[in-house]
Amino acid sequence: MLHIYCPYCEEMREEEEFSYSGEAHIVRPKDPKSLTDDEWGDYLFFRTNPRGLHHEMWHHSAGCRRYFNVTRDTSTYRIYETYKIGEKPIVTGEKS
């Protein structure tokens, strides 16, 4: 069971308080009508689903009700960081 730091509550809390909310940083297109069906389909249905580092959204549903981002390794479940909506991840797996 994961132990998650809520960046709004600024506390480590149990996974039971949170809900998973899918991949993070999926931006809704500004003008959906101008997109081709393929482009809209990509936005709707396609996710990276990596083995390894993953940026994902969680909801502190039984807590402060805020959505936030988590950088987690999907194979080890290690959480590298949590950060607020609108912020950028520090851990990206890319060489700096």
Partner 1 sequence: MTNRLDQCNRMAEGGRIDRSQPLTFTWNGKDYQGYQGDTLASAMLANGIKVVGRSFKYARPRGILGHGAEEANALMQLGEGKETIPNPRATQIELFAGLTAKATNGWPSVDFDLMHWLGKLGGKMMPVGFYYKTFMWPEKMWMTYEKFIRKAAGFGHASAHPDPDIYDKLNQHCDVMVVGAGPAGLAAALEAGRSGKRVIIADEQNEFGGSLLATKESINGQSAITWVEQVTAELAAMDNVQCLSRTCVFGYFDHNFLAALERRTDHQGMTATSGSRQRIHRIRAHKVVLATGAIERPLVFANNDLPGVMLSSSVATYINRYGVVPGNRCVVMTTNDSGYQTALDINGAGRTVVAIVDTRQQPSGRLFEAAQAAGITIKTGHAVIEARGSNQVSNALIAPIDASGENVTGETVTVSCDLIAVAGGWSPVVHLTCHTGSRPKWDETIAGFVPGDSDQDQYLAGAITGEYTTLGALQAGAKMGALVTASETSTSYACEDESVCPPQALYLVPHTKSVSRAPKQFVDFQNDVTAAGIALANREGFESIEHVKRYTALGFGTDQGKTGNINGMAITAKNLGKTIAETGTTIFRPAYTPVTFGALGGRDIGELLDPARHTAMHVWHQQHGAEFENVGQWKRPWYYPKGNETMQEAVNRECLAVRNSVGMLDASTLGKIDIQGPDAREFLNRVYTNAWSKLAPGKCRYGLMLKEDGMVFDDGVTACIDDNHFLMTTTSGGAAGVLSWLELWLQTEWPELEVYLTSVTDHWATCSFSGPNARNLLAKLCDDIDLSAEAFKFMDWRNATVAGVKARIFRISFTGELAFEVNVPANKGLYMWQQIMAAGEEFGITPYGTESMHVLRAEKGYIIVGQDTDGSLTPQDCGMDWIVAKNKDFSFLGQRSFSRPDTSREDRKHLVGLKPKDPTVVIPEGAQIVPHAEVTIPMPMLGHVTSSYWSACLGHGIALGTVKSGNHRMGETVYCPLADGRVLAAEICSPVFYDPQGERHHD
Instruction: List residues binding partner 1 (CB under 8 A).
Output: 1-3, 14, 19, 21, 27-28, 31-33, 35, 37, 40-41, 43-44, 57, 59, 61, 65-67, 73, 75-79, 85-86
DSSP-derived letter for residue 28 is P
Largest Cα–Cα distance in the chain? Answer: 43
Please report how close the Cβ of residue 55 comes to partner 1 at its closest, in angstroms: 13
Contact 65, 58 (CB under 8 A): no
Q: Which is nearer to partner 1, 34 or 48 (CB)?
A: 34
* Residue 88 DSSP SS3: coil
Q: Which two tokens stand for residue 72?
A: 């987690």
The CB-of-69 to partner 1 minimum distance in angstroms stands at 10
Distance in Å, CB of 68 to partner 1, minimum: 9
Q: Of 1 and 49, which CB lies nearer to partner 1 in the complex structure?
A: 1
CA distance 96 to 92: 9
